[in-house]
Structure 1
Amino acid sequence: MHRLAGVGDQIGPITLYDVDGTPVELASLSDRPVLLPLVRYYGCMPCRAFLSELNEIRDELHDAGVRLVGVGGAADYQARHLMEHGIGFPLLLDPRHDLYRALDVRRIRWWMLLQPVTWRNYLLAARRARQGRITGHPLQAPGLAIVDTDGTIRFLHRGKTLGDYPTIEAIRSAVGRISATS
């Protein structure tokens, strides 16, 4: 039976890509803990709204010693558009979903699209973002991880439906705990 990756586990080498297609090794980002929101895709309305919320606290995260780097599928043009229009942190691509697999952030079941919480997430996101063209797999679950300098997972949230991210307060709390032990 496959054991799920979890807090305290280490993830191996992962290659991501910047919007120009240049490989970026996850380990190269780890001069400090890295907070990695894993979006369904960069055009997803709840995902864009969540990235916008993180953008508002990016200086606070930096001051706490945490690097913020977004991860999405293969739509480089969507990531580039977001960075050109206000997202002030790098958005990297994971076209083969290697990081998603390493963290066991899986696809959701189609029936979750019918759940009230999914519709609530979309309605709340409508205040901050507009839907972009669907790229990749429409049922990819979102997630968020904080990975320490040695590759150890320090915080992990696996979304159960579209737009299921931890609250900003939960992220602040996790960052505070990590900062206190660093």
Structure 2
Amino acid sequence: MSLGDHLTASLTVVQFVRYFGCLPCQEWLVEVDRTATAEKLGAFAVGGSADYQATWLREERGVRMPLLLDPEHRLRDHVDAVKPLGWRLADPRGAAAYVRSLRHGFKPQAITRDTVRSPGVVILDSDGEVRWSYIGNRIGDYPPINQVLDAASRL
């Protein structure tokens, strides 16, 4: 499949997860899955590996939007979402995001090799051009969903 196959709406929200088992990534993914459909936006999430974790999200959390694997990080490269977290993995706000997700009932999954990538969100137009982006600076650093919806409404 090509990127264009997933750009069926005029605007599509793309979530970049560290890995599909990351708790704050899961929580944001579930929220955008529910919200994007209601707002008539396209949406999908991209991770580097762990298709079994994506399957778990579908079966256990009822996620409907596409959950794509991109082990070579080509889409991340295309939208310039390549910033590694590095030492920011130790940011205590990342640990707080994990605890918050645990309290909301999300379950940890096995850590995969993709843990050092920054979380991020982009809005692509139907041609695959980036119209808005937010690249996180720590674990669980996603924008509030209303910020994404506001950005989409202005495009």
TM-score of the alignment, normalized to the shorter chain, above 0.5: yes
Three-state SS of the structure 2 residue aligned to 1:126 is helix
- Taking the aligned partners of 1:143 and 1:68, their CA distance within structure 2 comes to 13
AA aligned opposite 1:98 = R
- Taking the aligned partners of 1:136 and 1:116, their CA distance within structure 2 comes to 21
More helix by proportion, 1 or 2? 2
Which blocks of at least 5 consecutive residues in structure 1 are unaligned? 1-23
- Which string of whole-angstrom CA distances, capped at 9 and with x for unpartnered residues, describes residues 120-145 of structure 1? 21122212312100112221111111
Q: TM-score, normalised by structure 2?
A: 0.90
Tell me whether 1:175 sits opposite 2:148 in the alignment.
no
Q: Which runs of 4+ in 1 moved over 4 A?
A: none
Residue 72 (structure 1) shift: 0.9
RMSD across aligned positions (CA): 1.4
Residue 102 (structure 1) shift: 1.9
- Which string of whole-angstrom CA distances, capped at 9 and with x for unpartnered residues, describes residues 77-117 of structure 1? 111111122112111111111111222222111x2122222
Alignment of 1:49-60 (within 5 A): 49-60=27-38
Contact 1:36 1:71 in 2 (8 A): yes
Larger radius of gyration: 1
Contact 1:61 1:175 in 2 (8 A): no
Three-state SS of the structure 1 residue aligned to 2:13 is strand
- Taking the aligned partners of 1:94 and 1:56, their CA distance within structure 2 comes to 23
Q: TM-score, normalised by structure 1?
A: 0.77
Q: Which residue of 1 aligns with 2:57?
A: 82
Q: Which residue of 2 aligns with 1:119?
A: 95
| Identical pairs, percent | 34
Which blocks of at least 5 consecutive residues in structure 2 are unaligned? none
Residue 60 (structure 1) shift: 1.8
